[in-house]
Amino acid sequence: MTTRNKNTRRTEARETTPPSLIAYHVSERGEKKFWTRIGAAWDHEDARGLTLQLELLPAGGGRIVLREPRDEEGEVIEEEGA
């Protein structure tokens, strides 16, 4: 007997849909700020929340900042049909 993962459709959709926001850990050392990408967030279908997927968790303080995805030139990446 095989077991089917009920979350497969959601996981596949999240992996193929670009994130709405990118999660960064921001730490400060003196006057410098260091931004490290740590994950991403996707809008819920009902537009009443976000799913946040973190690839790592900061251990030494700092803060988590969510920002719109940008291309290499710094332009905001728009979703198709938006």
Give the E-state strand segments of the chain in sequence order.
21-29, 32-43, 50-54, 63-67
- pLDDT, tens digit, 9 for 90 and up, residues 37-73: 999 999 999 999 999 999 998 887 889 999 999 877 7
Distance CA 72, CA 75 (A): 7
pLDDT digits (tens, 9 = 90+) for 22-32: 999 999 989 99
Asked if residue 57 lies in contact with residue 39, where contact means CB atoms within 8 angstroms, the answer is no
Total-model pTM? 0.68
Alpha helices by DSSP H, listed for the chain, are 8-16
**Residue owning tokens 């960064």:** 24
Q: Is 79's pLDDT higher than 70?
A: no
What local confidence, expressed as pLDDT, does residue 4 receive? 47
| Residue 43 dihedral angles phi and psi, to the nearest 5° | -70, 145
Residue 74 has pLDDT above 60, yes or no: yes
